[in-house]
Amino acid sequence: MTHEAPKGLSFEELAVGQTAEMAKAVTDRDITAFAEISGDANPVHLDEDYARTTPFKGRIAHGILSAAFISAVFGTKLPGPGAIYVAQSLRFRAPVRIGDTVVARVELTGLVPDKKFATFKTTCSVGGKVVLDGEATLMVPSRG
């Protein structure tokens, strides 16, 4: 039995204005696992006593963890499987804490037909407040 890999949208199926999003509640385990995987053991992420002494007054998630949720939207929803990151700018606006639900959203803002590039506005928000924003460029497979 052959299993066919899921396919995302082709470049020709994209249109400016398309959006997609996903929500993920951030857990202590997410932060700990991300620290283990990335090697970023900054105590502001892992040590509550230390984190209380910082301007954040408690532990916060790695900013790049929230950015990873944007990658998940691209890889699973829009454009979906087959799309490849080319560039991403990020501005971290506010901290994400354990228990926060991050909503990662992408909006298609432009198409570059000769390169099969798609550009996106990217945001992550918690409770309607933007915690991260930026822009991304992806290479999207063509139908042909």
Look at residues 122, 50, 57, 59 and name the one whose alpha carbon lies nearest to residue 93. Answer: 122
Delimit the domains of the chain by residue range.
Answer: 11-26+63-139
pLDDT at 2 over 90: no
pLDDT digits (tens, 9 = 90+) for 103-144: 999 999 999 999 999 999 999 999 999 999 999 999 999 986
At 57, which amino acid appears?
K
User: What is residue 7's predicted lDDT score, i.e. its pLDDT?
Assistant: 79
Cα gap 139→11, rounded to integer Å: 8
pLDDT at 1 over 90: no
pLDDT at 15 over 60: yes
Say if residues 122 and 134 touch (Cβ distance below 8 Å). yes
User: What is residue 6's predicted lDDT score, i.e. its pLDDT?
Assistant: 66
- For tokens 């924003």, the residue is 133
Minimum mean pLDDT among 2-11, 40-49, 102-111, 125-134: which range?
2-11
Q: What's the predicted TM-score (pTM) here?
A: 0.91
Minimum mean pLDDT among 5-19, 51-65, 75-89, 113-127: which range?
5-19
CA distances from 82 to 24, 49, 74, 112, 137 (A): 23, 43, 9, 17, 14
Per-chain mean pLDDT for the chain: 95
pLDDT at 4 over 90: no
* CATH code for the part of the protein at 11-26+63-139: 3.10.129.10
User: What is residue 5's predicted lDDT score, i.e. its pLDDT?
Assistant: 59
Cα gap 132→60, rounded to integer Å: 14
- For tokens 């620290």, the residue is 35
pLDDT at 17 over 60: yes
